[in-house]
């Protein structure tokens, strides 16, 4: 670049040769001072004006204004010597002031004066640019002098002058010329600020003034290394590569990503995206540099695009076995706080953020205009679709749109007025549902009234949207016990968390809950041959010595299985209840001999004992889930059947228990089994809970813990619901099936003027070059979360979308609707934990590889399909042909790999 102040003396206006004749003084004054061409002319940004020594100009002014014809008053050649530091470098003096040291002349006025009087021999003209800064034009007398250096040798600098209106790109090109760096090599600039630190000059399209560059600042040019890294990053990392790493040369793209701590989801998404050929070529060939959008308020100031470009260039340099994506991870966390830290996340969610971030950082639309979405209003689909796509492109135009965006047709129908709304909406990926079974498998424990029978574990198939009564009916088929004689309870930590009513929904029961179904006596009707019974919840507690100085105090700790026990309501006493419970516990509690206890006749006690007043209804548990722990058969769930209510006095008025030497004592407690309810003024309608309190010594002698915890498995536990594999096409069909909107997401009908639960149908109008299909394996409802591990069979090549695209098709180009698989993001594990990996086809070699963080290994096509497949990447066949022609002209197609053979081990079978 030539220095701003250095140029040869100008010629006369319009390239005319110097004129020998000097006009008369009045004419000279008119030419130089008039408003059209002279000093009075208004300045315009970008044009050149010239500095003239004030003393010489005043002499000329006296000559032409006074008309003195004395030869000694005629000014000689224009002499600006007083304005320069010396006559060697012709450096302008500092601190010159207009009107005191010099005057400014327009280009036309300067040319005329030089043609009349000439310029002192050897002196350069002092040409300066006019800077237009927000409508205020001024002459830039002193250009910006920058010190240019290379990152490899910052001690060696070169001084160059620039106007404040010059772009940073001009500084970059000047540095490339000065240090003989090819424009094809990727370079970037850093400026040293007043604090001594370096700051990136990211946006090369802005001016020096916008970038706040001042004279004397050091600007360092950095050149990307052959391995795709920047020398400054290696310096900050403080580590140098080994000789073996420096000499490594491998297949470009076959490069692992280090797991930084639960970042396998990010690695999987990056590997998939990195193996989209046209996107990777876009970054490798630096086409992104001209499209970085630094001023987009919806973008990330170009930082996400640059960080991703760095990863791509390193991975595809062929000089790394594995790279550490810590810079990219930091950038993602900075712009998306949900990805801060090192928790596990979803690869599809990261992919969605990344595609959106790259799009906005590379959006060619610098100022988005407002575009209103228009309804079809009866117009032809073709017309509305073209209009919708044009409107989309007016605001969104990037390589991401070119590669991944397609168009939906959305049809909404109002159920009341029949109004039909048709719109066309862009999409970046398809989130397709998996066919979901309407059945649910639940495991429960059945507790019989027969004390000799151990609890039975059952595996029941029930309607997913069924009720507690459905669970009881399913169990009745296995046990022969009527559903009317069953109560369902959720047991947690040796206590009843909740006792269910028959009409409650099964969705309130989570898979991790322990469900117990108790057999109770029939009480649906009362005849002369049956007595009405009440069901009492029973807890087991053990006295434990307290840990304080008062050894006489005993604490109480729950243990074992709680029970629901039917007791005759009209003949209830403490002694009768004691013997009933002793009978119910007889399988694992040894009955003492007559020497140990005064054991009376059970029937006599029931009939002759003091009556216990009638309790109220069975009550439910707390409203909050105590935690995700899963106990064995000792914790479970129950379905509630209400016992008739009674207005008898509550537990605080119960008679005193008979004083005998028993194995255990009985105590009324609250629903948690932690406090004696007789100490409180309880509601008379409240359901009493009874605790069996054991002395440690008595428990040790008479209570068999091993037998108490024992249970048996019913034959049904060995059954497994067969999960048949589904075809990917079935998922796409389900995606395009008409559905009714949910209550949480109604549609506002412009005709009815109110929100309606309209029917909605999505159809595919146009498909993108690269189609991303997200399999919705994770299901979230109000009461449950689950992962669907259904095997989805997807084709490796020739996925045909012609039957799903409703836009009139070009029959002569079937490849426009056929896709080949290029990458798969896999998820192994469940909801709370898991691991992500990637299958991807290398764009250069055509070989499939398995990416597991920093480990990469080749695989065959018959290894790709599995239950872990989560996000699929398909490339349209015409795009693949086009890219292949560009990269490998004249080369024949590689042989087709062997046909896919299903892996039977990956399926659940009966």
Q: What is the pLDDT of residues 698-721, one digit of tens each?
A: 999 999 999 999 999 988 887 766
Report the SS3 class of residue 908: strand
The arithmetic mean of pLDDT across residues 173-200, rounded, is: 90
Q: What is the pLDDT of residue 635?
A: 30
Task: Supply 866's token pair.
Answer: 């599995």
Q: Is the pLDDT of residue 5 over 50?
A: no
Report the SS3 class of residue 31: helix
pLDDT band (50, 70, 90) for residue 530: very low
Q: What is the pLDDT of residue 140?
A: 85
Q: What is the pLDDT of residue 470?
A: 92
The arithmetic mean of pLDDT across residues 172-196, rounded, is: 90
The arithmetic mean of pLDDT across residues 325-335, rounded, is: 93
Return the top range by mean pLDDT from 26-30, 190-194, 350-354, 889-893.
Answer: 350-354
Q: How far apart are CA 617 and CA 685, in angstroms?
A: 7
Q: Is the pLDDT of residue 626 over 70?
A: no
For the stretch 845-856, pLDDT in tens is 999 999 999 999
- Residue 50 contacts residue 78 (beta carbons within 8 Å): no
Q: What is the pLDDT of residue 125?
A: 94
Task: Supply 279's token pair.
Answer: 């996107």
Which residues does the annotation mark as catalytic? 264, 835
DSSP labels, 856-884: EEE--GGGT-STTEEEEEEEEHHHHHHHH
For the stretch 449-499, pLDDT in tens is 999 999 999 999 898 888 999 999 999 999 999 999 999 999 999 999 999
Cβ within 8 Å of residue 30, ≥6 positions away: 38
Identify which has the larger pLDDT, 738 or 436: 738
Q: Is the pLDDT of residue 402 over 90?
A: yes
- Core vs surface per residue 359-393: b (16+ CB within 10 A) or e: bbbbbebeeeeeeeeeebeeeebeebbeebbebbb
Cα–Cα distances (Å) from 570 to 575, 577, 686, 815, in that order, read 14, 12, 18, 83
Q: What is the pLDDT of residue 70?
A: 67
Q: Is the pLDDT of residue 862 over 90?
A: yes
Task: Supply 696's token pair.
Answer: 């440690």
- Residue 45 contacts residue 130 (beta carbons within 8 Å): yes
pLDDT band (50, 70, 90) for residue 617: very low
pLDDT band (50, 70, 90) for residue 142: confident
Q: How far apart are CA 496 and CA 634, in angstroms?
A: 10
Task: Supply 540's token pair.
Answer: 């087991």
Q: What is the pLDDT of residue 361?
A: 95
The percentage of residues in the chain with a pLDDT greater than 70, rounded to a whole number, is 81
| Of 581, 578, 563, 560, nearest in space to 707 by CA | 560
Q: What is the pLDDT of residue 552?
A: 52
Q: What is the pLDDT of residue 885?
A: 74
pLDDT band (50, 70, 90) for residue 240: low
The percentage of residues in the chain with a pLDDT greater than 90, rounded to a whole number, is 47
Average the pLDDT over each of 60-64, 66-70, 731-735, 869-873 and give the range with the smallest value: 66-70
The arithmetic mean of pLDDT across residues 587-604, rounded, is: 59
The arithmetic mean of pLDDT across residues 441-448, rounded, is: 92
The CATH class given to the 25-134 domain equals alpha beta
pLDDT band (50, 70, 90) for residue 658: very low
- Measure CA of the first residue to CA of the last residue in the chain; give whole Å: 79
- The phi, psi pair for 549, rounded to 5°, reads -70, -20
The arithmetic mean of pLDDT across residues 138-147, rounded, is: 88
- The answer to whether 25-134 and 438-524+532-545+555-590+662-676+686-721 have equal CATH topology is no
CA torsion, ordered 93, 98, 102, 105, to nearest 10 deg: 120
- The phi, psi pair for 853, rounded to 5°, reads 55, -120
Q: What is the pLDDT of residue 910?
A: 24
Q: What is the pLDDT of residue 573?
A: 83
Cβ within 8 Å of residue 200, ≥6 positions away: 188, 189, 190
Task: Supply 567's token pair.
Answer: 């007791």
pLDDT band (50, 70, 90) for residue 241: low
Q: Is the pLDDT of residue 645 over 80?
A: no
For the stretch 76-111, pLDDT in tens is 899 999 999 888 888 899 889 999 999 999 999 999
Q: What is the pLDDT of residue 143?
A: 87
The arithmetic mean of pLDDT across residues 664-691, rounded, is: 72
Q: What is the pLDDT of residue 782?
A: 60
Average the pLDDT over each of 319-323, 553-557, 712-716, 724-728 and give the range with the smallest value: 553-557
Q: What is the pLDDT of residue 439?
A: 83
Q: What is the pLDDT of residue 781?
A: 63
246 burial type by CB count under 10 A (0-12 exposed, 13-18 middle, 19+ buried): exposed
- The phi, psi pair for 660, rounded to 5°, reads -140, 165
The β-bridge relationship of strands 256-257 and 322-323 is parallel
Architecture of domain 438-524+532-545+555-590+662-676+686-721: Roll (3.10)
DSSP labels, 170-214: HHHHHHHHHTT--TTS-EEEEEE-TTS-EEE---TTSBTTTTT--
* Tokens 């052959």 belong to residue: 226
Average the pLDDT over each of 560-564, 636-640, 826-830 and give the range with the smallest value: 636-640
Average the pLDDT over each of 69-73, 513-517, 697-701, 895-899 and give the range with the smallest value: 895-899
Its sign, for the CA torsion 525, 530, 534, 540, is negative
Q: Is the pLDDT of residue 12 over 80?
A: no
Give domain limits for the chain. Answer: 25-134, 144-223, 438-524+532-545+555-590+662-676+686-721
Q: Which DSSP helix (H) or strand (E) runs through 497?
A: strand 495-501
Identify which has the larger pLDDT, 772 or 75: 772
C-beta atoms surrounding 401 within 10 Å: 20
Q: What is the pLDDT of residue 640?
A: 34
Report the SS3 class of residue 395: helix
Report the SS3 class of residue 620: coil
Q: What is the pLDDT of residue 636?
A: 29
Identify which has the larger pLDDT, 132 or 190: 190
pLDDT band (50, 70, 90) for residue 326: very high
Q: Is the pLDDT of residue 813 over 70?
A: yes
Report the SS3 class of residue 129: strand
The arithmetic mean of pLDDT across residues 683-699, rounded, is: 79
| Of 389, 376, 462, nearest in space to 420 by CA | 376
pLDDT band (50, 70, 90) for residue 68: low
pLDDT band (50, 70, 90) for residue 818: very high
Count of residues in the chain? 910
Its sign, for the CA torsion 545, 548, 553, 558, is negative
pLDDT band (50, 70, 90) for residue 306: very high
- Mean pLDDT, rounded, of the chain: 81
Average the pLDDT over each of 40-49, 234-243, 336-345, 428-437 and give the range with the smallest value: 234-243
The arithmetic mean of pLDDT across residues 143-171, rounded, is: 89
- Helix ranges (H only) for 713-861 are 728-735
Q: Is the pLDDT of residue 594 over 80?
A: no
pTM: 0.67
- The CATH number given to 144-223 is 3.10.20.90
Give me the helix-helix angle, 877-887 and 277-284, nearest 10°.
Answer: 40
* Tokens 């979230």 belong to residue: 780
Average the pLDDT over each of 184-198, 506-520, 896-910 and give the range with the smallest value: 896-910
Q: How far apart are CA 325 and CA 395, in angstroms?
A: 31
C-beta atoms surrounding 899 within 10 Å: 8
DSSP labels, 349-369: HHHHHHHHHHHHHT-S-SSPP
């Amino acid at each position: 670049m030539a220095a701003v102040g250095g140029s040869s003396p100008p010629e006369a206006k319009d390239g005319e040769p110097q004129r020998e004749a000097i006009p008369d003084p009045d004419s000279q004054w008119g030419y130089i001072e008039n408003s059209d061409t002279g000093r009075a002319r208004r300045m315009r940004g970008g044009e050149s004006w010239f500095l003239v020594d004030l003393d010489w100009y005043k002499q000329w002014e006296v000559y032409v204004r006074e008309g003195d014809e004395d030869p000694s008053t005629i000014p000689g050649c224009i002499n600006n010597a007083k304005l320069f530091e010396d006559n060697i470098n012709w450096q302008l003096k500092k601190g010159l002031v207009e009107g005191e040291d010099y005057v400014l002349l327009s280009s036309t006025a300067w040319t005329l004066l030089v043609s009349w009087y000439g310029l002192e021999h050897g002196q350069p003209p002092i040409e300066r640019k006019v800077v237009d800064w927000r409508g205020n034009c001024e002459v830039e007398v002193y250009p910006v002098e920058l010190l240019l250096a290379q990152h490899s040798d910052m001690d060696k600098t070169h001084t160059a002058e620039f106007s404040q209106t010059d772009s940073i790109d001009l500084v970059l090109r000047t540095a490339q010329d000065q240090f003989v760096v090819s424009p094809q090599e990727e370079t970037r600039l850093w400026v040293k600020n007043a604090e001594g630190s370096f700051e990136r000059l990211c946006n090369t399209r802005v001016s020096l003034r916008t970038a706040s560059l001042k004279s004397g600042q050091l600007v360092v040019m950095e050149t990307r290394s052959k391995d795709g890294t920047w020398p400054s990053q290696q310096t900050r990392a403080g580590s140098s590569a080994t000789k073996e790493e420096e000499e490594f040369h491998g297949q470009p793209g076959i490069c692992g990503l280090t797991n930084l701590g639960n970042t396998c989801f990010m690695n999987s998404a990056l590997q998939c995206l990195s193996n989209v050929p046209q996107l990777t070529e876009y970054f490798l060939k630096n086409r992104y540099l001209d499209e970085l959008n630094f001023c987009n308020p919806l973008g990330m100031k170009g930082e996400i695009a640059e960080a991703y470009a760095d990863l791509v260039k390193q991975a595809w340099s062929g000089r790394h076995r594995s790279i550490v994506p810590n810079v990219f991870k930091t950038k993602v966390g900075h712009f998306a706080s949900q990805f801060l830290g090192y928790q596990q996340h979803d690869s599809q969610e990261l992919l969605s953020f990344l595609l959106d971030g790259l799009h906005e950082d590379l959006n060619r639309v610098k100022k988005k205009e407002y575009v209103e979405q228009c309804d079809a209003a009866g117009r032809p689909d073709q017309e509305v679709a073209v209009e919708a796509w044009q409107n989309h492109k007016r605001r969104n135009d990037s390589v991401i749109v070119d590669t991944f965006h397609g168009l939906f047709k959305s049809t909404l129908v109002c159920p009341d007025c029949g109004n039909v709304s048709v719109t066309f909406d862009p999409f970046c990926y398809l989130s397709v549902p998996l066919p979901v079974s309407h059945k649910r498998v639940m495991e429960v424990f059945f507790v019989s009234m027969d004390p000799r029978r151990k609890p039975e574990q059952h595996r029941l198939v029930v309607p997913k949207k069924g009720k507690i009564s459905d669970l009881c009916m399913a169990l009745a088929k296995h046990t022969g016990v009527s559903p009317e004689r069953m109560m369902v309870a959720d047991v947690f930590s040796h206590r009843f968390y909740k006792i269910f009513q028959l009409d409650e929904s099964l969705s309130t029961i989570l898979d991790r809950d322990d469900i117990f179904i108790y057999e109770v006596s029939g009480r649906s009707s009362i005849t002369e041959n049956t007595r009405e019974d009440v069901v009492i919840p029973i807890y087991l507690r053990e006295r434990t010595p307290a840990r304080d100085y008062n050894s006489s105090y005993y604490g109480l700790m729950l243990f074992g299985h709680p029970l629901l026990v039917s007791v005759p309501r009209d003949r209830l006493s403490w002694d009768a209840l004691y013997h009933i419970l002793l009978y119910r516990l007889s399988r694992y509690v040894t009955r003492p001999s007559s020497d140990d206890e005064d054991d009376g006749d059970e029937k006599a006690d029931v009939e002759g004992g003091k009556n216990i007043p009638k309790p109220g209804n069975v009550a439910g548990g707390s409203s909050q889930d105590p935690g995700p722990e899963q106990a064995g058969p000792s914790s479970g769930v129950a379905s509630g059947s209400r016992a008739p209510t009674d207005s008898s006095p509550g537990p605080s008025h119960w008679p005193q228990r008979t004083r005998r030497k028993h194995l255990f004592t009985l105590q009324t407690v609250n629903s948690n089994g932690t406090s004696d309810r007789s100490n409180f003024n309880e509601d008379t309608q409240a359901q009493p809970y009874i605790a069996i309190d054991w002395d440690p010594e008595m428990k040790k002698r008479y209570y068999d813990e091993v037998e108490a915890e024992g249970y048996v498995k019913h034959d049904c536990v060995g059954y497994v619901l067969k999960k048949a594999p589904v075809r990917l096409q079935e998922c796409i069909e389900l995606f395009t099936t008409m559905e009714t909107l949910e209550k949480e997401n109604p549609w506002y009908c412009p005709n009815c003027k109110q929100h309606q639960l309209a029917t909605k149908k999505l159809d595919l109008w146009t498909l993108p070059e690269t189609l991303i299909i997200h399999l919705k394996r994770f299901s979230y409802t109000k009461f449950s979360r689950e992962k669907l591990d259904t095997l989805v069979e997807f084709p490796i090549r020739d996925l045909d979308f012609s039957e799903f695209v409703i836009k009139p098709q070009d029959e002569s180009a079937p490849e426009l609707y056929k896709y080949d698989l290029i990458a798969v993001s896999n998820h192994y594990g469940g909801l709370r934990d898991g691991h992500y990996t990637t299958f991807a086809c290398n764009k250069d070699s055509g070989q499939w590889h398995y990416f597991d963080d920093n480990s990469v290994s080749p695989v065959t096509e018959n290894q790709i399909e599995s239950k872990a497949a989560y996000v699929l990447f398909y490339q349209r066949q015409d795009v693949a042909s086009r890219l292949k022609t560009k990269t490998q002209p004249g080369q024949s197609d590689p042989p087709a790999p062997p046909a896919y053979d299903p892996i039977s081990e990956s399926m659940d079978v009966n």
